[in-house]
Amino acid sequence: MADKTFKLNTGADIPAFGLGTWQGEPGKVKTAVSHALKSGYKLIDAAYCYGNEDEVGAGLADAFASGIKREDVFVMTKVWATYNTRIGLGLEKSLKALGLDYVDLYLIHWPLLLNPDGNDDRFPKKEDGSRDVIHSFDHREAWKEMEKLVETGKVKAIGVCNYSKRYLEELLPVAKIVPAINQLENHPWLPQTEIVDLCHEKGIHVVAYSPLGSTGSPLASAEPVVKLAEKKGVSPYTILLSHHVSRGHTVLAKSVNPDRIDANKNLVALEKDELKLLDDYSADIVAKKEWKRYVYPPFGVEFGFPDKS
């Protein structure tokens, strides 16, 4: 299952499963990336904002030195919100840190602009301590800049992250290139069905992040996940990750622990009734509005997510 790939709307293949690098403890990310690639991972997810693209790059270099070929690894990274009016510069900085000539997929990390001339490269703040957001910015302008990158050959494809149905509906009528993916928080406590359905309809591949519930993997104790894990004789982590791949989505799991990196790639196929069990659980959570979103930076911007509206 971990070797499975899906087709992007560009015609390229994207692996079904990859390693996340957010909050990778400094000093551990190089080994995590290198270990993952040597043990069969084909997809690495990075971001300028994570502040560790250089370590990811060192891990990639280590893997390439061991004989793994660049063309056999799918690398995606993201332009941070302080660079959404300087996307070419954002890409150059990421390529340099990663030690690459191109990335397989370049993504808008969040559809807003943080002050490019503010008091910090990544997290500029106003005097009152709130995030220095330029509220007049139109996210569609960032996409126009992203589209220009494709012809440079430095990005094989472009996509978005954290796009709600509303934001996608604003973007698609003006997009010359339909985003290849929408990378979004997705797990049984945040199914985001309305966005997922729209992505399916428009040929935008869904990439799920925080599938374990992010830091500390809280979802591993969710009742139906535990039950299904017992039934199939696998761990709850395996169920949470396999859930996405069995639905045709790519999933990203972060770990800097070599044993967990190895364990996480052992995905299993979930049958229709098993998927239904998880879907029904999610539907119940949504009906009761008991959803949980783990990743929502305090930008003070309305992104159009029903659970945050």
Alpha helix ranges (H) inside 190-254 = 193-202, 223-232, 236-246
Residue 110 contacts residue 297 (beta carbons within 8 Å): yes
Q: Segment 7-26, which members bind ligand NAP (CB under 6 A)?
A: 20-23
- Closest approach, Cβ 65 to ligand NAP, in A, equals 23
Stretch that binds ligand NAP, among 94-102, 123-131, 166-174, 248-256 (CB under 6 A): 248-256
Residues 91-110 that bind ligand NAP (CB under 6 A): 109
In this chain, which residue has its C-beta nearest to ligand NAP? 20
Report, in Å, the least distance between residue 296 CB and ligand NAP.
10
50 is catalytic: yes
Does 257 interact with ligand NAP (rule: CB under 6 A)? yes
Q: Which two tokens stand for residue 251?
A: 């999933």
Is 243 flagged in the annotation as binding?
A: no
Number of residues that bind ligand NAP (CB under 6 A): 29
Question: By C-beta, is 263 or 285 nearer to ligand NAP?
Answer: 263
Element (H, E) at 263: helix 258-264
| 45 is a site residue for ligand NAP (CB under 6 A) | yes
Alpha carbon dihedral 227, 233, 235, 241, in 10-degree steps, equals -90
Among 16, 73, 196, 256, binds ligand NAP (CB under 6 A): 256
d(CA 117, CA 115): 5
201, exposed or middle or buried, with CB in 10 Å at 0-12, 13-18, 19+? exposed
| Binding residue for ligand NAP, selected from 253, 270, 277, 278, defined by CB under 6 A | 253
Q: How far apart are CA 56 and CA 243, in angstroms?
A: 27
Bridging pattern class, strands 13-15 and 5-7? antiparallel
How far, in Å, CA of 181 to CA of 157, rounded? 9
- Asked if 84 is part of the footprint of ligand NAP (rule: CB under 6 A), the reply reads no
Residue 108 sits at φ, ψ, to 5 deg, of -75, 125
Report if residue 282 touches ligand NAP, rule: CB under 6 A.
no
By the rule CB under 6 A, 36 interacts with ligand NAP: no
| Residues designated as active site | 50
Q: Which residues are annotated as a binding site for substrate?
A: 109
Could you list the residues that contact ligand NAP (CB under 6 A)? 20-23, 45, 109, 161-162, 183, 209-217, 237, 252-257, 260, 263-264, 295
